[in-house]
Structure 1
């Protein structure tokens, strides 16, 4: 999954930084799952960026699950993503399940759709897992019971199973867009700023999700004076961690397995445009 995230971040890098970063390449597509943890609005922008990048630059079909209607893409995506045309956008299918039961049902139906769809999705995205796990009553994660942890495990396991099944289908059809990846977002009650960018294991739901997602992409807002001084709206630190990153980094001595970037910086300007920098 970090291959798509890295490509998406590089899309929004300044040209000068991009030239300096020409030797940094995304890891091979063996890390096929990522969990974006942090602010819902920023994490959604990251998910949409990943979806648009996968569709426009990698030719993938994307399945995007979210509870909130998406009327249009952010202006920053429309202005900055190359090759963003109607044909690319047609590769992204949005679905709006209201409950976790509907999400599970729609996700499971992806197995059946392969009988009628020429090319199944190569990327599955789920926006705001906490919205599905909390249920209509809402509430904080501290109010979760073991049933919610079991539900998080069930949902994650279905994501893994569906991605594995679709990967087999893509391989059988000799598709160049495989394997099937999946990415989701989750807002934890734990403040990552208190733990150096890593929410602690005190959140039982996050701890459960980490068992199924190979990479965690943690968003941590910089609340210092740097953003104001630079005329920016916000500055975010993005930390990539997890066993997927470790596995790729362990092979860095190999010529075809370059070092893996583990920290990025996201700059958000007052006009909504985004810019990424490699740290």
Structure 2
């Protein structure tokens, strides 16, 4: 949900005189270091729940024993009771994740309001832990869970928009990390194949690249890119981890380009653009 990420980046920006870029919206795939990606997901969940009043469903394999340091430092005084709109669901396997996501359709027919933001922390861990064999040999589990998340969000969106105000929207945000990224062996193709499948259903990428210092050492700084395929848009941000643990964002550049192909060409990309969602 790139519009939520923009709210996050703006809220924790160092200055208030920024010229904010136009919205990039859609279901979002977050790529980058496991720990920093998780911090960004948590900030997104808290911002959606506290600032926007949205209901958030946060799937993760690892329970949170306490608020992350980056969150406590970024939002001083935040207490657990402030997260009443965030429901954490700890599921260990891909099968459990699929079952729980599939059951969300039932919420749309009950009195309980369905979530407006569905977050999956570390989809790669669920996929690699499944019982279907090596991912590079069988991409069907990737396609299945991504399509299920996409269709569930679309179903909930339709339900929310049928309400009186008609303003409802449900989005998906998924983090993914591949240990073999950057490798030069034959398995280097596997991440690209996986990402190509995910791109069909998650229309926006948030790529987090660490800024390396001399000798390749990290400097607690990252370049963050928000990009969408249809139409082609890119936003670039600089993210820094301060000494106290707080995350800070600054806008770097915005590039917005309309795809030059004819509309029919863009329609051929519907699988990657989420059929206009």
TM-score by length of 2: 0.79
Is residue 2:145 matched to residue 1:155?
yes
**Residue 172 of structure 1 aligns with which residue?**
162
Residues in 2 aligned to 1:41 and 1:278: alpha-carbon distance in whole angstroms: 22
Is residue 2:163 matched to residue 1:190?
no
TM-score by length of 1: 0.79
Residues in 1 aligned to 2:213 and 2:219: alpha-carbon distance in whole angstroms: 12
**Residue 124 of structure 1 aligns with which residue?**
118
Q: Which has the higher strand share?
A: 2
**Residue 6 of structure 1 aligns with which residue?**
6
Q: Which has the higher helix share?
A: 1
Residues in 2 aligned to 1:177 and 1:39: alpha-carbon distance in whole angstroms: 34
RMSD: 3.0
Deviates more, 1:173-182 or 1:53-62: 173-182
**1:78 Cα deviation from its structure 2 partner:** 3.1
**1:240 Cα deviation from its structure 2 partner:** 1.5
Aligned match for 1:203, one of 186, 192, 206:
192
**Residue 34 of structure 1 aligns with which residue?**
28
**Residue 251 of structure 2 aligns with which residue?**
278
Q: What is the CA deviation profile of residues 191-228 of structure 1, one whole-angstrom value per residue up to 9, with x for unaligned ones?
A: 49x9xxxx988621112111111111111111124999
Is residue 2:209 matched to residue 1:223?
no
Deviates more, 1:232-241 or 1:214-223: 232-241
- Unaligned runs of 5+ residues in structure 1 are 250-260
Contact 1:66-1:97 at 8 Å conserved across structures: yes
Contact 1:130-1:187 at 8 Å conserved across structures: yes
> For 1:32, what is the secondary structure of its paired residue?
coil
**Residue 96 of structure 2 aligns with which residue?**
102
Contact 1:32-1:180 at 8 Å conserved across structures: no
Contact 2:73-2:244 at 8 Å conserved across structures: no
**Residue 49 of structure 2 aligns with which residue?**
55
Report the count of equivalent residues.
248
**Residue 258 of structure 1 aligns with which residue?**
none
> For 2:103, what is the secondary structure of its paired residue?
helix
**Residue 87 of structure 2 aligns with which residue?**
93
Residues in 2 aligned to 1:176 and 1:125: alpha-carbon distance in whole angstroms: 23
**Residue 263 of structure 1 aligns with which residue?**
236
